[in-house]
Structure 1
Amino acid sequence: MAKNEHEVKNDLFGFGDKNVAFAKYFIGTSYLNGLVSPDDNIDVNVSNVNFEPGCRNNWHIHHDGFQILLVTAGEGWYQEEGKPAQLLKPGDVVAIGVKK
């Protein structure tokens, strides 16, 4: 069993289904559970994404928006271009694309 596997698969927001729609952006298998989808009144997408052990997200840029990572279970690595990788654990928050 992977580290924290029980907590990841049984977390507050649900594990989600295989992330088929965005599979080309991942190496390995991820799971996606949409929590809030954008519509005419809400200009935000909120999702719970889970990763199988060894899965990684390909390098990408958020040109016209932001992303906030809220780590609720498990652990994994996050890295921005030109910065060292950082280990993320439950309770960590990363704001991506925020202008400083």
Structure 2
Amino acid sequence: MELLSVRPTVKTPARAFTGDVYMTPVYTGTGPSRMTAALVRFTPGAHTNWHSHAVGQTLHVTEGVGLVGIRDGSVLRIHAGETVVCPPGEEHWHGAAADTFMSHLAMLEAEPGGGDPTTWLEPVADEQYERANKESAS
């Protein structure tokens, strides 16, 4: 058994996020574990760029209301206590709704052999985020 100390919270890089987003690492696996977990806090309206994960990603909402969108235009409005499973390779984005904070645990695995498990893509267009926020609220 091992007790891990609380790790410092960092502001996420603007090259991959719109708005103010803060991340606190929870766990980074060491062989044979490849799991990574982080608590990610989004201010109202903040969200990720489009991205995908080689081995998928699981998001568990701990607070607030958020959105998860995929390329076909589908958007889920997510709430505290809910979990979203994004399959391997699926291009998606996620973040807070326009008028509330949202926090989630982001859990994913690295590929065997290491490397970055996330492929970052372009920002979500403002119009697309606004439409997703509006349509998912009704």
TM-score by length of 1: 0.71
Structure 1 segments of 4 or more deviating over 6 A? none
The answer to whether structure 1 residue 71 and structure 2 residue 61 are counterparts is yes
Q: Equivalent residues in 2 for 1:1-100 (5 A)?
A: 17-20=9-12, 22-62=13-53, 64-97=54-87
Q: Find the counterpart in structure 1 of residue 108 from structure 2.
A: none
Q: Deviations over 1:15-72 (max 9, x none)?
A: x62334x43210111111111112233211011101011111111121x211101011
RMSD (CA atoms): 2.1
2: CA distance, partners of 1:92 / 1:32 = 19
Percent of pairs with identical residues? 24
- Looking at CA atoms only, which structure, 1 or 2, has the larger radius of gyration? 2
What secondary structure, in the 3-state scheme, does the structure 2 residue paired with 1:24 have? coil
1: CA distance, partners of 2:30 / 2:11 = 21
Q: Where does structure 2 lack aligned partners over 5 or more consecutive residues?
A: 1-5, 90-138
How far did 1:83 drift? 4.2
Give the total of aligned pairs.
Answer: 83
Q: Is the 8 A contact 1:30 1:51 kept in 2?
A: yes
TM-score by length of 2: 0.53
- Determine which structure has the larger strand proportion and give its number: 2
2: CA distance, partners of 1:95 / 1:71 = 12
